[in-house]
Chain A
Amino acid sequence: MSRKQTPLRPYFEKMPDIGKLLEDRDFKQRGPNAKDVKEQEDLIAQAEKKVREAGKPAEKVRQRGQMTVYDRLEYLVDEGTWCPLHTLYNPKDNEEGCTGVVDGLGKIEGKWAVIIGFDNKVIAGAWIAGQAENILRVTDLAKRLNVPLVWMTNCSGVKLPEQDEIYADRRGSGAPFFRHAELNKLGIPVLNAIYGTNPAGGGYQGISPTILLAHEGANIAVGGAGIVGGMSPKGHFDIEGVQSLIEATKNFKAKPPGRVETHFDQTAYFREVHESEQGVLNGIKEYMKGVPAYDPRFFRVAETAAPKFSGEDLNYIIPFNQKRTYDVIEVLARLTDNSEFMEYKPDYGPEVFTGIAKIAGLPVGVIGNNQGFFKDYPEYREEGSMGVGGKLYRQGLIKMNEFVTFCGRDNLPIVWLQDTTGIDVGDAAEEAELLGLGQSLIYSIQKTELPMMTIMLRKGSAAAHYVLGGPQANDNNAFTVGTPLTEIYVMHGETAAAATYSRRLVKEQEAGRDLEPVIEKMNKMVQDYYDRSRPIYCAERGFVDEIVSMQLLRNYCVAFTESCYQNPKSITPVHQMILPRIIKG
């Protein structure tokens, strides 16, 4: 008889339980909180709906016999696995209300991929401002997770009136072609389903991936047929000039270049041509079957298990009132397998928790801010001091430096739960080396080469937003998701107004002048900080990669973790991991 088990069973099979069931009184007491959160969710849902409906109505596209990008995604992606990203991203405030591409993480034929497509409802999938930056986030994500990038190309070329915002620049619309080259160089395949007319930029978008599959009506070309008149020899246009342009356009009957007759029949760039749109996506699915992916049992330390407590509780647990404290371990209990958590150094650096959890049976490191108050803490301040949750002190920074370093050694991807007001300040904090320890944590993160994801549970503020695995960790942070309670700013608006206007107030008062005009400015600043730190604003600017309803956070944790373990570039044999042994002592 053969016998099988998961490795290091005594450590991983059953880890300490966390969390407790919410009772009726909790739902009753915290009902108003859940209502406040729901109101934010509704606002976000409305904004997302607007993005999905951008451009032509979907029906018009379908009437022409085409699928929309959303139809294509629905057909391509395994049911229940889609985790959208960058839905509200619109850093250049485009009138279209979006960047013209739709992307996220999803499974195709049981394997995770980063998936992106041009929104063919929006100017036939044109290059518009901010799109290149969106694409670079996506190519970076595929690189970080080492999973395939799947494109649905349908790109009409640059939106000409805004070309100066789109075409050139170091991170402009040509940069993604170099990123595709980089992914290929790194051994990460880029699969491309090509639809419609793709001239110039669209042509390179078509040609730059690894595997090209085309719809029978698709074409890719260096330039399009639309450039019929060439340059005006006079250097400007007049009646005579535009008359000849009108004639040239009327007589122009040529089909667009780079059709299937050329790039399938002659150059053989296209590996497959399909009569139907679905046929192209079937081709992508077939190729996905062939991309490298480990069976998860190579890395699983236990069977996958859902958390014991519902993710829907989170709207009752995390206070809408940003000043109110809560037990973040109750949040963690709604994210981890079977609501278990093996904590590293719980009695040291109480303002943060660090430890190992299982997500989909796979081990991950988890780090986050504890909330509440800590008596006689931090130790470097006078006796009787009170530490405040959400802040970082010497012990917490040292603990995180250690933990991150051990995670690097054990190849444990890290999930950060961030809700921070900053690092402790003042002479005592400087003497306690908090500046140095914060930067040390940045070094520790960079040194690990680990993929990480960050959940902005509520506040991200000051340098703590950076050092707690924030999106600025470009080589590590795969993506950052926000919640309906996310706020990100360098400091709270009230603090900023006090810092900006306090001296002015003194001067005005000493001069015997009215303080009201200054007070008005201060309040305007507070409001301005508030408006520019709301979840939707954070998503539009790219401070977070998506705003996620709290009950869906676990889905993103699963997508991240399984992607990390799909085809890792470095492996620590589970039975040689050191962190579980250190925790046990």
Chain B
Amino acid sequence: MASLLAPMAGKVIEVSVSEGDTVEVDDVVFIVESMKMETPVFATEGGTVKEIKAKVGEFISDDDVLAVIE
């Protein structure tokens, strides 16, 4: 089980996967807007998306858990 952490504070503008999806390392899982820039958040480990903890429009802080991948 691995937690995918927010790389920076910002606003979630896209959730690119759904719970139950299979992801590989480097798949785009979220897109986060911060300081006028949009940056993808990539899966750091492969597996099944067990839980998505951030919604579109939600403000997140540095190191918040965005998703759990099993």
Chain A residues with CB under 8 Å of chain B are 25, 29, 321, 323-325, 371-373, 375, 386, 388-390
Q: Look across to chain A and name the residue whose beta carbon is closest to the beta carbon of B9.
A: A386
Alpha-carbon separation in the docked complex, A488 to B27 (Å): 32
Q: Look across to chain B and name the residue whose beta carbon is closest to the beta carbon of A25.
A: B27
Contacts of B30-55 to chain A: CB distance below 8 A: 31, 33-40
Q: Which residues of A contact B15 (CB under 8 A)?
A: none
Interface size class of B (residues with CB under 8 A): 10 to 19
Q: Are A324 and B39 in contact (CB under 8 A)?
A: yes
Q: Are B27 and A373 in contact (CB under 8 A)?
A: no
What are 25 A-B pairs with beta-carbon distances under 8 A? Answer: A25-B24, A29-B28, A323-B33, A323-B36, A323-B37, A323-B38, A324-B31, A324-B39, A324-B40, A325-B37, A325-B38, A325-B39, A325-B40, A371-B37, A373-B8, A373-B34, A373-B37, A373-B39, A375-B8, A386-B8, A386-B35, A388-B36, A388-B37, A389-B37, A390-B37
Instruction: For residue A16, give the distance in angstroms from its CB to the closest CB of chain B.
Output: 20
Instruction: For residue A423, give the distance in angstroms from its CB to the closest CB of chain B.
Output: 15
Alpha-carbon separation in the docked complex, A429 to B39 (Å): 24
Alpha-carbon separation in the docked complex, A276 to B33 (Å): 64
Please indicate which of the listed interface residues A29, A323, A371, A388 has the most CB atoms of chain B within 10 Å of its own CB. Answer: A323
Instruction: For residue B64, give the distance in angstroms from its CB to the closest CB of chain A.
Output: 15
Q: Look across to chain A and name the residue whose beta carbon is closest to the beta carbon of B36.
A: A323
Alpha-carbon separation in the docked complex, A127 to B4 (Å): 64
Given contact pairs A29-B16, A323-B38, enumerate 12 new A-B contacts (beta carbons under 8 Å).
Answer: A25-B24, A25-B27, A321-B38, A323-B33, A323-B37, A324-B38, A324-B39, A372-B39, A373-B7, A373-B34, A373-B39, A386-B8
Q: Which residues of A contact B7 (CB under 8 A)?
A: 373
Q: Which residues of A contact B40 (CB under 8 A)?
A: 324-325
Instruction: For residue A161, give the distance in angstroms from its CB to the closest CB of chain B.
Output: 48
Instruction: For residue A383, give the distance in angstroms from its CB to the closest CB of chain B.
Output: 13
Instruction: For residue B63, give the distance in angstroms from its CB to the closest CB of chain A.
Output: 11
Q: Which residues of B contact A388 (CB under 8 A)?
A: 35-37
Contacts of B15-32 to chain A: CB distance below 8 A: 16, 24, 27-28, 31
Q: Which 8 A-B pairs have the closest CB atoms?
A: A325-B39, A324-B38, A323-B38, A388-B35, A373-B8, A323-B37, A325-B37, A388-B37
Please indicate which of the listed interface residues B34, B37, B38 has the most CB atoms of chain A within 10 Å of its own CB. Answer: B37
Q: Which residues of A contact B37 (CB under 8 A)?
A: 323-325, 371, 373, 388-390
Alpha-carbon separation in the docked complex, A375 to B39 (Å): 14
Q: Look across to chain A and name the residue whose beta carbon is closest to the beta carbon of B33.
A: A323
Alpha-carbon separation in the docked complex, A388 to B31 (Å): 16
Alpha-carbon separation in the docked complex, A324 to B36 (Å): 9
Q: Which residues of A contact B16 (CB under 8 A)?
A: 29
Alpha-carbon separation in the docked complex, A375 to B28 (Å): 20
Instruction: For residue B22, give the distance in angstroms from its CB to the closest CB of chain A.
Output: 11
Instruction: For residue A75, give the distance in angstroms from its CB to the closest CB of chain B.
Output: 49
Instruction: For residue A29, give the distance in angstroms from its CB to the closest CB of chain B.
Output: 6
Q: Are A386 and B36 in contact (CB under 8 A)?
A: no
Q: Which residues of B contact A372 (CB under 8 A)?
A: 39
Alpha-carbon separation in the docked complex, A323 to B39 (Å): 8
Alpha-carbon separation in the docked complex, A27 to B27 (Å): 12
